[in-house]
Amino acid sequence: MPPLQGIEKSLIISKAHFSGPEMISAVSMRRETLFQDRRFAIPVGCGPVSGRYMSSASIGEGAVDKIEIMNDVAEVFVDNTAEVVAQAGPMVNEVAIAAADSYFPVAALQYLTDYIHSISGFNWWASIVVTTLLIRSVTLPLMINQLKATSKFTLLRPRLEEIKEDMQNRGMSPSAVAEGQAQMQGLFKEYGVTPFTPLKGLLIQGPIFVSFFLAITNMVEKVPSFKQGGAFWFTDLTTPDSMYIFPVLTALTFWITVECNAQEGLEGNPAAKTIKNVSRVFAALTIPFTAGFPKAIFCYWITSNLFSLTYGLVIRKPEVKKLLGIPIIPVTPPSSTDQKPAFSFFEAIKKYAAAQQQQSLPSPGASPGEASKPTNPRIPSSAVLNQRLKSLEKEVKGRKKGKKR
């Protein structure tokens, strides 16, 4: 029949010249054109028309085969369309689903990482690295401002110590305390700092670190493509590093950053050494504490450590500080009390033994009879021992007072 032959030819042509989405769209268009004029047709099997078209004489075996071919092709097209939609759907919606139940900063980082991943074509690990560098670069002016404030506070500290010492010398009377507090407020206003200035760095870096940690952890759990988002030995970003390369690199980069930049802006601060020692301990504990973290976390952490290390090495140069208006803190030489050697218990014992030996020898002006006269060794030796112990106690107290000064 002519209509069936035309349909068969159109299907053969579309199958030969189109493939994939083009084939789906072409056949869909032909199917729509084919059936749109039959929406309001009289149902087959009603009235006298059905008797004519349902007769066995009018429908041959060839026509039935052609109709079955059309049904098979239509089923294949429907299955292929469903498969394409099923594959494209999760890639479009997986990040949106992951960010749906997150707070605004966490969701914003997830959308930013996905945006970089989409427009650049990078893998997920590279997208996390680029996002980290972008966010750290945006917060760079805040870090420079915080370093300025910390340096000013360090320059202000000696004057604050003088005011406190003056208040203590005046017996901490109410008038002395009120006057000292007024002087401190004036100094804070003059230098443009507050007692909470050293905490600015924690207030800046802390929320960023927590937001990144939560965002990446959420994406690890809810974005299936993270399983193939890595490279080299860390292809699966959702599992821990069984080779412990990432935990060791994280601890190493953090330790180098501490050694190079931990005291930047805190020169002369008594707490600088304590902060550095605590940071060293934290660097050593990083390896066991982070061994179970997914690899995607380290893509952010190591990048952030390297950024901090580079920033510290550049910002510590005097010409860079002068260009950015950061106060340069003069290096104060150690005081005379610090140059004194520490008290040694073994040296005190040696001095005591030498004094005992010198007293046991006879004096040059003594007669032989006096030298050979028997003496009671208990009384002189105990007196000398008490005297030496008192002298040692005085020496220890003097050393301690010198260190406190």
The DSSP annotation for 203-214 comes to HHHHHHHHHHHH
CB 225 within 8 A of CB 94: yes
**Can you state the percent helix, strand and coil of the chain, rounding each to 5?**
75, 0, 25
pLDDT at 210: 93
- CA pair distance 269, 263, nearest whole angstrom: 9
Phi and psi dihedrals of 327, rounded to 5? -60, 135
- Residue 244 is given by DSSP the state -
d(CA 153, CA 156) in angstroms, rounded, equals 5
CA-wise closest residue to 145 among 330, 329, 324: 324
DSSP 92-149: HHHHHHHHTTS-HHHHHHHHHHHHHHHHH---HHHHHHHHHHHHHHHTHHHHHHHHHH
**At which residue do the structure tokens 């707070």 appear?**
103
Number of neighbours of residue 68 by Cβ within 10 angstroms: 10
| Contact assessment for residue 204 and residue 143, using Cβ atoms and an 8 Å cutoff | yes
* Domain boundaries, given as residue ranges, for the chain: 2-100, 124-324, 333-351+387-405
Beta strands in 358-403 (DSSP E): none
Q: 3-state DSSP call for residue 239?
A: coil
Report which residue type is found at 399: R
pTM across the whole model: 0.57
pLDDT digits (tens, 9 = 90+) for 134-170: 999 999 988 888 888 888 888 888 888 888 888 888 8
Which among 157, 139, 253, 155 is positioned nearest to 200, based on CA atoms? Answer: 139
Q: Given this model, what pLDDT does residue 65 score?
A: 60
Using CA atoms, how far apart are residues 131 and 138, in angstroms rounded to an integer?
Answer: 11
By the 8 A CB rule, do 285 and 234 touch? Answer: no
Q: Which long-range contacts (CB under 8 A, 24 or more apart) does 72-76 make?
A: 73/11, 73/15, 73/27, 74/27, 74/31
The DSSP call for residue 344 is -
Check if the beta carbon of residue 234 is closer than 8 Å to that of residue 131: no
Written as tens digits, the pLDDT of the chain (405 aa) is 444 454 444 444 444 444 444 444 444 444 444 444 444 444 444 444 444 444 444 445 555 565 666 666 556 555 555 454 444 444 456 777 777 788 888 999 999 999 999 999 899 999 999 999 999 999 998 888 888 888 888 888 888 888 888 888 888 788 888 888 888 888 888 888 877 776 777 777 888 999 999 999 999 998 888 998 888 888 999 999 999 999 999 999 999 988 887 555 555 556 667 778 888 898 889 999 999 999 999 999 999 999 999 998 898 888 988 888 888 777 655 444 444 444 444 454 555 556 556 655 555 554 554 444 444 444 445 555 666 667 777 776 666 655 555
d(CA 10, CA 4): 10
The pLDDT tens digits of the residues spanning 322-345 come to 888 888 777 655 444 444 444 444
